[in-house]
Amino acid sequence: MHNKKEVAIGAPATGQDEWNALRESLESGWLTQGPKIGAFEHAFAEKFGFKHACAVSSGTAALHVMLLSLGIGKGDEVVLPALSWISSANVILHCGAKPVFVDIDLKTFNMDLSQISKKITPNTKAIMPVHLFGLCVEMDKLQELAGDIPIVEDAACAIGSQFNKQSAGSFGKIAAFSFHARKVLTTGEGGMIVTSDSTIASSIQSYRNHGAIPSKKALPEFTHLGFNYRMTDLQAAVGLVQLNKLDSFIKERKYFAKLYDQKLKAISWLSIPGVANNFDHSWQAYVCMVNEKTAGKTRDEIITKLASMGVSTRPGTHAIHKQEYYKQQFGFKAEDFPMADLADRTSLALPMHNRLCDDDIAYVVDCLARITS
């Protein structure tokens, strides 16, 4: 199989249904904060059993407002994994609080729960598990460790994921999801915040809309500093269509993940992701680990070589403590969180999306085999 193909790392699965939904919204005259927003929020909450769902403009906005709605601020600390997309930590700083990192478990890429207790101080106001790549954190153990400290879930990658048959986003006080183009469900950009607390839900609705609260006057009143984090009706219209396809999207991704599992066994220098029986993975991403010594090449050299063969890959995600801003502000060194550092240097995300086909997977694996043959 040496004929060159182009295989993207991600591609949104959109079609005529999404076009029709966009056209309907455009023709209705409602482009923002119209009926599609409420319909999307209601459908999302109903599908996963959430009491409240509040749509916002991005996953980062969802994370930011999630913390603001709990009153996280100056002097507070939030515990989170050192390996995640940069937004997970940035929003803590934007609240005036301090991110407190824990290392990860390489088997799952999620936070190492054995390190949580020693990170908790009197200033700890929340613990933020990140369900990375679509695999839930072992939430029963985390709940036990957290005690009375609020759990705020970064479920950006975990729409449709479950642990012990319970949906991601339903374990803590509040959770944030992302609808970025590489997520299983996409609105281009967009996010959703979910909670069972009506007071928190009201706070979320205010923060996303400039800090406005309902008023008997002709115009709303503004009681605190808020943001324009509102989702458009166009995004919500697409989200409603995508939500109806979510189960089939996840079913397809599970099939592709299984196909990778089978075919990659022959690649001795690549460790494939594992999933225990009580976890239901949504496979937002399929991330392996490269044994550079066995491969005879670095992860980055492999990415470059694959790109020349038409296969788009990338590192799994960042070790946040190694990013320049965090090194300068906090004096972090790579070795402070060695497992996150290793994942940062050697993780490899292979193409995973709903436009793949069996031949694409076979071609990706063939290219991997040829790199070191």
Residue 135's CB: how many other CB atoms inside 10 A?
Answer: 28
CA distance linking residue 54 with residue 51, whole number of Å = 10
**DSSP symbol at 290:** E
Cα–Cα distance measured from residue 301 to residue 110, given in angstroms and rounded to the nearest whole number: 26
Alpha helices in 49-81 (DSSP H): 59-68
* pLDDT the model gives residue 276: 86
End-to-end C-alpha distance for the chain, whole angstroms: 14
- Alpha-carbon separation of residue 91 from 60, 64, 353 (angstroms): 7, 5, 28
Query: 281-336, pLDDT tens digit by residue?
Result: 999 999 999 999 999 999 999 999 999 999 999 999 999 999 999 999 999 999 99
Distance CA 240, CA 236 (A): 6
Q: What is the residue-averaged pLDDT of the chain?
A: 97
Query: How wide is the angle at C-alpha 319 spanned by C-alphas 365 and 300, nearest 5°?
Result: 35
* Nearest one of 177, 199, 171, 198 to 189, comparing CA atoms: 177
pLDDT at 2 over 70: no
How many CB atoms neighbour CB 39 within 10 A?
A: 15
From 95-99, 210-214, 269-273, 345-349, the region with the lowest mean pLDDT: 210-214
Q: What is the pLDDT of residue 35?
A: 95
User: Which of 183, 245, 263, 322 is the catalytic position?
Assistant: 183
Is 216 part of the annotated catalytic residue set? no
Residue carrying the six token digits 């970025």: 180
Q: Give residue 224's pLDDT.
A: 86
At 109-118, the pLDDT tens digits run 999 999 999 9
Closest CA to 350 of 281, 286, 258, 256: 286
Alpha carbons 221 and 223: distance in angstroms, whole number: 6
Q: Which residues, listed in sequence order, are joined to residue 174 by a DSSP beta bridge?
A: 152, 195
Which has more confidence, 146 or 373?
146
pLDDT at 1: 55
- For the segment 157-185, what is each residue's pLDDT rounded down to a tens digit? 999 999 999 999 999 999 999 999 999 99
What are the C-alpha distances in Å from 251 to residues 78, 99, 189, 279, 282?
Answer: 34, 35, 23, 15, 8
Between 8-12, 171-175, 191-195, 274-278, the lowest mean confidence (pLDDT) is in: 274-278
Structure tokens at 262: 């089978």
Query: What is the share, in percent, of the chain residues with pLDDT greater than 90?
Result: 93
pLDDT band for position 267 (cuts 50, 70, 90): very high
The predicted pLDDT at position 80 comes to 99
pLDDT the model gives residue 286: 99
- Dig out the tokens for 101 from the structure: 């990192």
What is the predicted pLDDT for the residue at 316?
98
* C-alpha closest to that of 288 among 261, 249, 318, 253: 261
How many helices (H) and strands (E) the chain has is answered by: 12, 17
Instruction: Give the CA count within 13 Å in the CB-facing half-sphere of 240.
Output: 22
pLDDT of residue 218: 74
> Which residues make Cβ contacts (< 8 Å) with residue 174, sequence separation at least 6?
66, 69, 70, 150, 152, 153, 193, 194, 195, 197, 200
Mean pLDDT along residues 251-256: 99
Alpha carbon distance 91, 97 (integer Å):
9
Structure tokens at 133: 């790549």
What CA–CA distance (Å, rounded) separates 51 from 42? Answer: 9
| Residues facing 44 on adjacent strands | none
pLDDT tens digits for 75-130? 999 999 999 999 999 999 999 999 999 999 999 999 999 999 999 999 999 999 99
Q: pTM score, two decimals?
A: 0.96
What's residue 359's pLDDT? 98
pLDDT at 219: 83
DSSP helix/strand/coil, 285: coil
Q: So what's the pLDDT on residue 215?
A: 76
Q: Rounded to an integer, what distance in angstroms lies between the CA atom of residue 367 and that of residue 373? A: 10
Contact of 105 with 111, CB cutoff 8 Å: yes
Is residue 52 scored above 60 in pLDDT? yes
Evaluate whether 275 touches 78 at the Cβ level (below 8 Å): no
Instruction: Evaluate whether 250 touches 53 at the Cβ level (below 8 Å).
Output: no
